[in-house]
Amino acid sequence: MNYDINILIVEDLLTTRLFLRRTLKKLGYTNVVLSGDGEIALKELKLKSFDLIISDWHMLNMDGLDLYKALSKNRKWSEIPFLLITAEKERDKGIEAGIKEYLVKPVKPENLSNKIKEVVFGEVA
């Protein structure tokens, strides 16, 4: 199946960015943009609209939590579903900051697929 949505991946590790893009393409998501940190992601958001942002927590320059806070201050960007990828031990910190959707590392393709369908399309697996 081919899903016609624009996804922004924000991850500082190149291997993880490429893994996520490859996984998303196998799942049918072909419109994927890669970003190395939150600052670059904000520049991408000024150039293109996105239907989903998938972000790692720990990154240089601007981490996932700071990116989420920046998005929350912008009326247009605050409406974009935001999916944080984090370690189990940090999940509660993200929830306290207002992040509602997350995936715990290591990310499994089935969990990623189910979470995207839930967050973007309202489908519950």
Query: What domains can you pick out in the chain, each with its CATH number?
Result: 3-121 (3.40.50.2300)
In this prediction, residue 3 carries a pLDDT of 80
Within 8 A by CB and 6+ apart from 55, the residues are 9, 10, 11, 38, 41, 64, 67, 68, 82, 83, 84, 85
Distance CA 78, CA 20 (A): 23
pTM for this entry = 0.94
For 62, the token pair is: 């601007």
Any idea what DSSP says for residue 89? G
Output the six-digit token pair for 56.
């790692």
* Start-to-end CA span in the chain (Å): 16
Per-residue model confidence (pLDDT) at position 96: 84
DSSP assignment of 2-13, as one string?
Answer: -EEEEEEEE-S-
pLDDT for res 2: 66
Low-confidence ranges of the chain (pLDDT < 70): 1-2, 125
pLDDT, mean over the chain: 93
Helix (H, G, I), strand (E, B) or coil at 30: strand
